[in-house]
Amino acid sequence: MKKYLLVALLVCMGTAVCFAAKPKMACESLFVESLIRNEKTDVSIITSNGNYFRSLTVSGDKKIVDKIVGAIEADRKIASSVVETFEGKESYKMILTIPYGGYEGISVGFDKYSDTDARIFISGPVDAFK
Protein backbone atom coordinates (compact mmCIF):
# COMPACT_ATOMS: atom_id res chain seq x y z
CA MET A 1 0.00 0.00 0.00
CA LYS A 2 2.84 2.39 0.81
CA LYS A 3 4.37 1.70 -2.61
CA TYR A 4 1.15 2.69 -4.35
CA LEU A 5 0.85 5.89 -2.33
CA LEU A 6 4.46 6.78 -3.10
CA VAL A 7 3.96 6.12 -6.82
CA ALA A 8 0.74 8.18 -6.82
CA LEU A 9 2.53 11.04 -5.05
CA LEU A 10 5.41 10.96 -7.54
CA VAL A 11 3.01 10.95 -10.49
CA CYS A 12 1.15 13.95 -9.06
CA MET A 13 4.39 15.86 -8.48
CA GLY A 14 5.64 15.03 -11.98
CA THR A 15 2.37 16.19 -13.51
CA ALA A 16 2.50 19.45 -11.57
CA VAL A 17 6.05 20.11 -12.79
CA CYS A 18 5.03 19.45 -16.40
CA PHE A 19 2.11 21.86 -16.17
CA ALA A 20 4.26 24.50 -14.45
CA ALA A 21 6.95 24.44 -17.15
CA LYS A 22 6.61 27.25 -19.65
CA PRO A 23 5.99 25.90 -23.14
CA LYS A 24 8.43 27.08 -25.79
CA MET A 25 7.13 29.10 -28.68
CA ALA A 26 8.10 27.44 -31.94
CA CYS A 27 8.64 30.81 -33.60
CA GLU A 28 11.35 31.66 -31.07
CA SER A 29 13.36 28.67 -32.28
CA LEU A 30 13.79 30.38 -35.66
CA PHE A 31 16.18 32.94 -34.21
CA VAL A 32 19.29 30.75 -34.23
CA GLU A 33 22.72 31.57 -35.61
CA SER A 34 22.24 29.51 -38.79
CA LEU A 35 19.24 31.63 -39.80
CA ILE A 36 20.46 34.93 -38.36
CA ARG A 37 23.70 34.72 -40.39
CA ASN A 38 22.12 33.28 -43.55
CA GLU A 39 22.65 35.17 -46.82
CA LYS A 40 18.95 34.74 -47.66
CA THR A 41 17.69 36.35 -44.43
CA ASP A 42 17.55 39.75 -42.78
CA VAL A 43 17.09 39.75 -39.01
CA SER A 44 16.26 42.56 -36.57
CA ILE A 45 16.50 42.08 -32.81
CA ILE A 46 15.44 45.00 -30.66
CA THR A 47 15.31 45.05 -26.88
CA SER A 48 14.52 48.42 -25.29
CA ASN A 49 12.51 49.81 -22.40
CA GLY A 50 11.12 46.42 -21.52
CA ASN A 51 10.02 45.64 -25.08
CA TYR A 52 11.17 42.62 -27.04
CA PHE A 53 11.02 42.54 -30.84
CA ARG A 54 12.51 40.10 -33.35
CA SER A 55 11.88 39.85 -37.06
CA LEU A 56 13.16 37.51 -39.73
CA THR A 57 12.73 38.26 -43.43
CA VAL A 58 13.49 35.56 -46.01
CA SER A 59 14.17 36.24 -49.67
CA GLY A 60 14.45 33.38 -52.15
CA ASP A 61 14.57 30.28 -49.91
CA LYS A 62 11.66 27.82 -49.84
CA LYS A 63 13.20 25.64 -47.09
CA ILE A 64 13.39 28.54 -44.64
CA VAL A 65 9.86 29.69 -45.54
CA ASP A 66 8.65 26.11 -44.89
CA LYS A 67 10.36 26.20 -41.46
CA ILE A 68 8.58 29.45 -40.66
CA VAL A 69 5.22 28.03 -41.79
CA GLY A 70 5.76 24.98 -39.54
CA ALA A 71 6.60 27.19 -36.56
CA ILE A 72 3.65 29.51 -37.09
CA GLU A 73 1.28 26.54 -37.38
CA ALA A 74 2.66 25.06 -34.14
CA ASP A 75 2.23 28.37 -32.29
CA ARG A 76 -1.26 28.79 -33.74
CA LYS A 77 -2.31 25.87 -31.51
CA ILE A 78 -1.49 27.87 -28.35
CA ALA A 79 -2.79 31.24 -29.60
CA SER A 80 -5.71 32.92 -27.88
CA SER A 81 -6.63 34.74 -31.10
CA VAL A 82 -5.79 34.43 -34.79
CA VAL A 83 -6.32 37.03 -37.54
CA GLU A 84 -5.78 35.94 -41.15
CA THR A 85 -5.77 37.99 -44.34
CA PHE A 86 -5.60 36.59 -47.85
CA GLU A 87 -4.48 39.00 -50.56
CA GLY A 88 -4.40 37.99 -54.21
CA LYS A 89 -3.18 34.62 -55.36
CA GLU A 90 -0.23 34.05 -53.02
CA SER A 91 -0.01 36.77 -50.38
CA TYR A 92 -1.09 35.73 -46.90
CA LYS A 93 -0.87 37.39 -43.48
CA MET A 94 -1.49 36.06 -39.99
CA ILE A 95 -1.28 37.66 -36.57
CA LEU A 96 -1.37 35.49 -33.46
CA THR A 97 -1.89 36.64 -29.89
CA ILE A 98 -0.27 34.16 -27.54
CA PRO A 99 -0.40 33.94 -23.74
CA TYR A 100 3.25 33.32 -22.84
CA GLY A 101 5.42 33.59 -19.77
CA GLY A 102 2.52 34.86 -17.68
CA TYR A 103 1.70 37.60 -20.19
CA GLU A 104 -1.36 37.68 -22.43
CA GLY A 105 -0.20 39.95 -25.22
CA ILE A 106 2.64 38.31 -27.12
CA SER A 107 2.17 39.10 -30.81
CA VAL A 108 3.46 36.94 -33.64
CA GLY A 109 3.02 38.25 -37.16
CA PHE A 110 3.58 36.34 -40.36
CA ASP A 111 3.57 37.62 -43.94
CA LYS A 112 4.01 35.13 -46.76
CA TYR A 113 4.58 36.79 -50.10
CA SER A 114 5.38 33.63 -52.08
CA ASP A 115 6.76 30.12 -51.55
CA THR A 116 10.26 31.60 -51.25
CA ASP A 117 9.66 35.00 -49.58
CA ALA A 118 8.21 35.67 -46.14
CA ARG A 119 8.56 37.66 -42.92
CA ILE A 120 7.84 36.79 -39.29
CA PHE A 121 8.03 38.90 -36.15
CA ILE A 122 7.60 38.38 -32.41
CA SER A 123 6.82 41.26 -30.07
CA GLY A 124 6.03 41.56 -26.38
CA PRO A 125 7.38 42.45 -22.95
CA VAL A 126 10.98 41.31 -22.33
CA ASP A 127 10.02 39.60 -19.05
CA ALA A 128 7.76 37.16 -20.89
CA PHE A 129 10.78 35.66 -22.64
CA LYS A 130 13.00 35.16 -19.57
Closest CA to 115 of 96, 94, 89: 89
Q: What's the pLDDT at 14?
A: 56
Domain borders along the chain are 22-129
- Of 16-20, 23-27, 119-123, where does mean pLDDT reach its minimum? 16-20
Burial class of 36 by CB neighbour count within 10 A (0 to 12, 13 to 18, 19+): middle
Question: What percent helix, strand, coil does the chain show, rounded to 5?
Answer: 35, 40, 25
* CA gap 76, 121 in Å, rounded: 14
Please give the model's pTM, rounded to 2 decimal places: 0.78
pLDDT per residue as tens digits for the range 30-88: 999 999 999 999 999 998 888 999 999 999 999 999 999 999 999 999 999 999 999 88
Closest CA to 67 of 12, 5, 115: 115
Q: What is the CATH number of domain 22-129?
A: 3.60.90
pLDDT per residue as tens digits for the range 25-39: 899 999 999 999 999
